[in-house]
Each structure stands twice: as C-alpha cells, then as structure tokens.
A and B are shown apart, each in its own frame.
Chain A
Amino acid sequence: SNELTQTPSVSVSPGQTATITCSGDGLPKQYVYWYQQKPGQAPVLVMYKDTERPSGIPERFSGSSSGPIVTLTISGVQAEDEADYYCQSADSSGKQYVFGAGTKVTVL
C-alpha cells in the first residue's frame, strides 16, 4: 500500500513546538515531502527529501526520519504557521504519487 497516515490535528501555543508525523508502508524507502497550505491558497513546499528545507522557508521548520515515520517540526511556532500540512511521497519510479490526509495546525 502507498498510503500515508497523518495525525488529523495539532494545537500549539505561540512559541511552543508543533510536531507533525507521517507514516507509511513505503517509508523509509521513499522520501517524504511536506507542503503548507493556508486557506484559499495553493500548497507551498516546506520540506523535501525528509529533512531538506527549501530556500525561503524559515529555520524553525525542520524534518526528521526514523524508520517508517517522518516528522515535520515547527519550533517556536508563530501565528502565521497556522495552516494545513500535507506529507507526500511517490513510488520508486515516480509513476504514482500520494498525499497524506493532512494535519491541521492550530495556533492557540
């Protein structure tokens, strides 16, 4: 199966740490990528190859991987980080792609 499982929601106070996990049968063989989506906007890539941060993404965003679980961590959460976060992977040949169901991050 190529399904990815995410925690549906995470609530965190400003300045605290938000941890979002993504697990799947195909991991860790395949990389995971993370997208942030705010209401009414297109997704934005915030992490690639499990742990790599694209240019322009704040350093408070970090990624880690342990076995079949990949984690996106937001340290020192800010109000602007409130959004839906999706993990994404693909099969080994890049023929089929899958997204997790998304994690809603609420900043209290």
Chain B
Amino acid sequence: QVQLVESGGGVVQPGRSLRLSCVGSGFNFNNHPMHWVRQAPGKGLEWVALISYDGTIKYYADSVKGRFTISRDNSKNTVDLLMNSLRGDDTAVYYCARREAYMFYFDYWGQGTLVTVSS
C-alpha cells in the first residue's frame, strides 16, 4: 500500500534552518509530482511547494519563496524540504503529499511532522 513518512521536524530558533524529508513506498515514486502542505496550529491547510516527477520543475507559495527549497531523489524515493530563515509563522505540521499523476489533487498524504520555530 502507498505510504508516505515524514521526518525531520522539531524545535528550531528563528532565522535557523531545518530539513524535512519524506520517504515514499508502495508505488512508483518517480511517476508522481510531490508536494509539501503545511498546517499551522488550529489553522487551515496551506500549500507550500511542488516538485515535478523528475525534479526539474519546482514551484513555491509566495510565503516561502526564496527561503524554502524542495528537492527529490528518485533513487531513494525521497522528497526533501530545506527551510532557511525560519520565522514564527512557519510553525506548522508539514505534510508530504503525493499528487495524482495527471490531475491536480493529492491522493495520499503522510502523517505530518511538526516544526516549531521558537527562541
């Protein structure tokens, strides 16, 4: 069965960096664009970033553009999110999500990893 497992969350000081990772299994990883979506405590879902199936195309939400970098390694079935210059409003649960191959929705999600930005 399809599984997505995130890791790397934790407590980090403002201005510092953190790398999240997500490993996929149970499907052809390199057939799917992958995304990160976050959810601040008590708030709604916010799309963060996407990476194409082959890693050549990347897009970001305006709120993270220039600070976050998404990457993937299809040989390891992983997608990472490098978060630099973290701010308090980046505090959230970060979900890794698989995008359906041909349509613009997320058919599988990980359980999320919590990032807390605090001094």
Contacts and interface: CB of A to CB of B under 8 A. Distances in A.
Task: Determine the interface band of chain B, counting residues with CB < 8 A from chain A.
Answer: 20 to 34
A31 B104 contact: yes
Contacts, number: 59
Nearest to B104: A90
A88 B110 CA distance: 18
A95 interface: yes
Interface string A77-108: 00000001010111000111111111000000
Given A31-B104, A48-B105, A97-B104, A42 B46 contact: no
B45 interface: yes
Task: Determine the interface band of chain A, counting residues with CB < 8 A from chain B.
Answer: 20 to 34
A54 B52 CA distance: 23
A43 B110 CA distance: 9
Nearest to B61: A96
A95 B59 contact: yes
B7 to A, nearest CB: 15
Interface of B: 33, 35, 37, 44-47, 50, 59, 61, 95, 100, 103-107, 109-112
Interface of A: 30-31, 33, 35, 37, 41-45, 48-49, 54, 84, 86, 88-90, 94-102
